[in-house]
Amino acid sequence: MTVFSVWAPEKPVKLRLGDRDFAMEAGEDGWWHVDVPDPDVTDYGFILPDQEKPLPDPRSPWQPDGVHGLSRVYDHSAFAWTDQGWTGRQLPGSVLYELHIGTFTPEGTFDSAIERLDHLVDLGVDLVELLPVNAFNGTYNWGYDGVCWFAPHEAYGGPDGLKRFVDAAHAKGLGVVLDVVYNHFGPSGAYAPMFAPYLSSGSNAWGSSVNLDGPGSEEVRRYIVDSVLMWLRDYHIDGLRLDAVHALHDEGAVHLLEQMAVEVETLSTELRRPLSLIAESDLNDAKLITPREAGGYGLHAQWDDDVHHALHTLLTGERQGYYGDFGSLDCLRTVLEGAFFHAGTWSSFRGRRHGRPVDRQRTAGHRFVTFLQNHDQIGNRAIGDRLTATLSPGLLKVGATLLLTSPFTPMLFMGEEWAASSPWQYFTSHPEPDLAAAVQNGRRKEFAAHGWSEAEVPDPQDPATFERSKLDWSEPGKPGHAEILELYRKLIRLRRSTPGLSDPWLHKVEVWHGDQHVVIRRGPTVVAANLAETPQTVSVRALPRSVLLATSPGVIVERDRLVLPPESAAVVSVR
């Protein structure tokens, strides 16, 4: 017996199964149900009164023919998992690695990504963070246009492919974090709003807002939370990165994020392994990661763009747009000691005060995910250029050292660890001509306003843009790339083996700086960086015991000072 159900308040619904239609019975709260004894076909859809074509299930677990096709029944219990001994990976102390399945390997599938897991194990990361993999229209894009929040994208390998990837990662000791998008539906194939009030009258930067607090919102919230629990329970995912939570408009007494935290904690207790919720937020408000007992939402971590902006501007000299307030060594000191730069302070980009201070004694640094590069900060540049295209090898090494010796949870973007030369550009494969044209024109206009010509901005719809964005796996062993890769390996090992670097407490971080140099003390460990093109003598305000790591040869110890080569960094233990 197979039970088919769908939520469609005040709309009678029929089930289309193969070439037969089945009347559905109304249940409570707008749900419709029908039991079909041992169906000999597994592809199905629902027919609404004003539609002749069967529509895919809003909770479809599998879309083998794309988001406009029929749904397919999927039995989660049929997969033969081998990770029964997996006890999980907690976020504190971990290093994350962000990757996009479609461009991580030439083949762009879950199975081909499995073949590269040994590289990540050797690198030393703990958690692999996948950009969104739920079903979207077209063959490839970044994943943020998803419309089926329960179904992995078929071109990547579908439900079984994702399970094989997670199972293989766990076998190698790697946890898996999945990026999920609940703040909007993509522009093509979003059939759920035809069934029920999934959308509100409001909007955000990507389209109509999801209905979290209006009439019918209780089932919409259930829809989202059930998706959250499904990824963690049925796909054995270890954590979720929640996209742009500032766009989740919810005026209810219990915010959707708090509801998620409560139900994920319950599931974590049931499964007896840690499950992490990581928010991407533009608010600079630690309430998201404050425990519920202290009046917060109880999420485990949040992305911290301010740390990225401080590092990026200092290393590159860029100051345009939202980088305007960043770039000084004072700014770097502020974020390394307190996580946020805008903490109730003036933001010239926003034209107002922004953020609130972090309690350094009560909020651990591991609750902030930080990065030198990520999909947004590369892909949303006009030509998708990485830092490799801008910085010298010396400054790349300085940046890596400052990131991986920070008190935060560091995240790398795929290929960063070997200074990949391939760009990571904005790419789409919308089959609808009007939508494709709108994306192409919108991209051109956006960057024309910043002085870029049309010829310079890659066409998102051109397959070559997608192909250019794939990693070149011949590079890690080549001169220049191999040296950067070895530094990343050493830094991750050093971070794990040095108590001063693994200590997450922000109130123990002390930063001082001079002309083009900065020094960070973390207990018995000091990190010193010279950003100048000439050698510099830097006071570490203590007597060094030993040099634990240097990005360039020739570091000289002189009593309580270090002589650093140009564009270099060193990590030393001190008395």
309 is in an annotated binding site: yes
pLDDT at 400 over 80: yes
pLDDT at 339 over 90: yes
In angstroms, the CA 125 to CA 485 distance is 13
In angstroms, the CA 132 to CA 144 distance is 6
245 is in an annotated binding site: yes
Smallest Cα–Cα separation from 193: which of 9, 53, 43?
A: 9
At 38 the pLDDT is 82
Q: What is the mean pLDDT of the chain?
A: 97
Smallest Cα–Cα separation from 145: which of 103, 207, 229?
A: 207
CA angle at 103 for the pair 101 and 106, rounded to the nearest 5°: 105
Does 258 qualify as catalytic in the annotation? no
379 is in an annotated binding site: yes
342 is in an annotated binding site: no
378 is in an annotated binding site: yes
At 448 the pLDDT is 84
pLDDT at 455 over 90: no
Average of pLDDT values for 186-198? 97
pLDDT at 450 over 80: no
High-pLDDT (> 70) share of the chain, %: 100
pLDDT at 419 over 90: yes
Cβ neighbors of 328 (< 8 A, separation 6 or more) are: 314
Q: Helices 305-316 and 329-338, interaxial angle, to 10°?
A: 160
252 is in an annotated binding site: no
At 39 the pLDDT is 80
Average of pLDDT values for 348-362? 97
pTM (2 decimals)?
Answer: 0.97
pLDDT at 327 over 80: yes
376 is in an annotated binding site: yes
| CATH superfamily ID and name for 510-574 | Golgi alpha-mannosidase II (2.60.40.1180)
At 315 the pLDDT is 98
Instruction: Report helix, strand or coil for 417.
Output: helix
118 is in an annotated binding site: no
One-letter amino acid at 197 equals: P
Does 280 qualify as catalytic in the annotation? yes
Strands 509-514, 127-130: pairing kind? unpaired
Q: Which of 243, 258, 337, 567 is catalytic?
A: 243
424-443 pLDDT, tens digit per residue, is 999 999 999 999 999 999 99
Smallest Cα–Cα separation from 271: which of 431, 81, 444?
A: 81
CA distances from 7 to 148, 198, 214, 311 (A): 15, 11, 16, 48
> 2-55, which class in CATH?
mainly beta
Instruction: Report helix, strand or coil for 43.
Output: strand
Q: Which of 145, 167, 280, 304 is catalytic?
A: 280
242 is in an annotated binding site: yes
101 is in an annotated binding site: no
Average of pLDDT values for 316-328? 95
> Which 8-state DSSP code applies to residue 565?
P
What values do phi and psi take at 149, rounded to 5? -85, 5
469-486 pLDDT, tens digit per residue, is 999 999 999 999 999 999
Q: Please report, for the chain, the start and end positions of each structural domain, with discontinuous segments joined by +.
A: 2-55, 510-574
User: What is the radius of gyration, based on Cα positions, of the chain?
Assistant: 25
507 is in an annotated binding site: no
61-102 pLDDT, tens digit per residue, is 999 999 999 999 999 999 999 999 999 999 999 999 999 999
At 361 the pLDDT is 96
pLDDT at 305 over 80: yes
Average of pLDDT values for 208-226? 98
Contact indicator for 117, 168 with CB cutoff of 8 Å: yes
At 41 the pLDDT is 87
At 10 the pLDDT is 86
100 is in an annotated binding site: no
437 is in an annotated binding site: no
